[in-house]
Structure 1
């Protein structure tokens, strides 16, 4: 683009007004992402036809996308490949109001110099908050105590029934120093926890900087009271928590999964849970949803939730705000805060 088109005023206010198109699942997602305030903010910095939500490029006429400078994408955006790029010669930025771009942004985008950004950090925040809540509940034996209280419907002697319960000096194991894993580690700092992390991509020094000791997966599973999963799904991480890892966990310990169900061998997990040896807080499963009648729905030592850790409700507005921030930076010729490289794509969930 020319310097004249993309210049800024002395105050740094962008002069260039990019043309933005929305590409995502449907109009319902558009309306969930954009509050009235956020919509007004986007319209103040760009030209955007909110009545058009691209769900399929094949049925979108050329004249609707030919002059688009920015695609603001959301969950279940149609794929952006070489054919689409040929129809959008002015496209320079894909700002994703979501986490992973792996499902819709193809390598051709980077090859043609398109800037790709993501609101993955914004999507990671509620997952980290939810995980912290689960860790604290696990430390207080919340599942067992709730089940026992419901079953007996009388006074529970806490000290007698739960002598080892509490969050002081609890051993917490974090599997994966991903974006979410790092946010969880950050939120664990104020507590009196003994924190370990398993991630083969970081050093001992980096782990200490994150507030944890780096250990092997076997040691983490063996020594932790609570294990929380935050690894991406890759060929090497499929069923990384299998029979051996689950068998190594302490009696009465808790597995938390707010990452991906495919990380865990569910047959092995159900066996351990049915034996009453472990507890589990599961926000994700494989498959998802589970078939009706699956034992995870009824086991008393399981808290099963329907993938609610990630952004939902009001939290979706944060995703849109991050995307708008990136568009604003683009219009002011400023560097993006959360760019995604082709190398990043390989390790995305």
Structure 2
């Protein structure tokens, strides 16, 4: 794909448009422009927070930074935008929007914006598990002095399943605590194992961390067979997507007391009332908040600003999502 030629605004800007002098971008919130420190030169912005009524610049908008999580009925309206050429996400995950991006429109994610936030979440839940914090919190609620020895991250063997931007940020933090980190990615490379090596790696791990994107190949990767290869007492941490994991198979292992888990994402999501994960033992559960601290929004908009500048200059774009879905 020749991104320099495809993304040259002069190839498709209408000189008869009232917005022809500048490139129109839709931003997801009124605060977005301030978060990015102002628009690059040559741009004008409208705000589209996901309302059914599209902004008046629908005929000329070329770039959209869409609000996260809007539904299929609104996403399908992207096909109505004749000048749309780039969809730049605030999120790292793309599975929710990818099927609705029209042919010829480039989709880019916010890779890197969530690295530190997710690193903090993973480190936090791993330490909470090892330090028995859920047990002690329950004892506090019951007014019991429940003394017991705790565990340490030092010397633990951590298997990172998914070694892109997130895994590369997390690994040195874990090794800083004295953990031994083994990395797994779709394809092997120096120092990184291929996903086909998982059957031999899983039995050696104390902690398995999922950082994979959701694609056709990764959906249901963590099934009953995958879980059965994990040693008794292993902690499964999912900071990727809920559908990476066969939920019924995981619930069975948790209820048997053989494995532990820390989940920021689930399938289904959000969890309905009465779902067995609510009461499953050995589980730390958070409502998809790993990337929701105060840092990522500004980082995502800074990435978007840099992307807009590349787009206006006709330069190759960053974080382009390919056929594989990442």
How far off is 1:173 after superposition?
A: 1.2
How far off is 1:166 after superposition?
A: 0.9
Q: Residues 81 and 256 (structure 1 numbering): CA distance in 2 closer, same or farther, change over 3 Å?
A: same
Partners of 2:93 and 2:214 within 8 A in 1: no
Structure 1 distance, partners of 2:62, 2:325, is 27
Partners of 1:130 and 1:309 within 8 A in 2: yes
1:187 and 2:173 aligned: yes
Q: Residues 102 and 275 (structure 1 numbering): CA distance in 2 closer, same or farther, change over 3 Å?
A: closer
1:18 and 2:23 aligned: yes
Bigger mean CA deviation after superposition, 192-201 or 257-266:
192-201
Q: Residues 259 and 215 (structure 1 numbering): CA distance in 2 closer, same or farther, change over 3 Å?
A: same
Q: Residues 291 and 108 (structure 1 numbering): CA distance in 2 closer, same or farther, change over 3 Å?
A: closer
Count of residue pairs brought into register by the alignment: 309
How far off is 1:305 after superposition?
A: 1.0
Q: 1:119 aligns with which of 110, 125, 137?
A: 110
Q: Residues 275 and 106 (structure 1 numbering): CA distance in 2 closer, same or farther, change over 3 Å?
A: closer
How far off is 1:228 after superposition?
A: 0.9
Structure 1 distance, partners of 2:43, 2:245, is 44
1:212-251 equivalent positions in 2, closer than 5 A: 216-251=197-232
Name stretches of at least 5 consecutive residues in structure 1 with no aligned partner.
7-15, 23-28
1:38 and 2:47 aligned: no
Structure 2 distance, partners of 1:255, 1:2, is 46
1:14-93 equivalent positions in 2, closer than 5 A: 17-22=22-27, 30-31=29-30, 34=31, 37-38=34-35, 41-42=38-39, 46-50=43-47, 52-53=48-49, 55-56=51-52, 60=54, 64-76=57-69, 78-79=74-75, 83-85=79-81, 87-88=82-83, 91-93=84-86
Q: Residues 152 and 280 (structure 1 numbering): CA distance in 2 closer, same or farther, change over 3 Å?
A: farther
Q: 1:337 aligns with which of 295, 311, 318?
A: 318
Q: 2:289 aligns with which of 300, 308, 314?
A: 308
1:169 and 2:165 aligned: no
Structure 2 distance, partners of 1:147, 1:170, is 25
**Deviations along 1:147-192, whole A, 9 cap, x unmatched?**
456556215143xxx4xx1111111111222432333224333231
How far off is 1:282 after superposition?
A: 1.1
Partners of 2:184 and 2:195 within 8 A in 1: yes
Partners of 1:198 and 1:220 within 8 A in 2: no
Higher relative helix content: 1
How far off is 1:300 after superposition?
A: 4.1
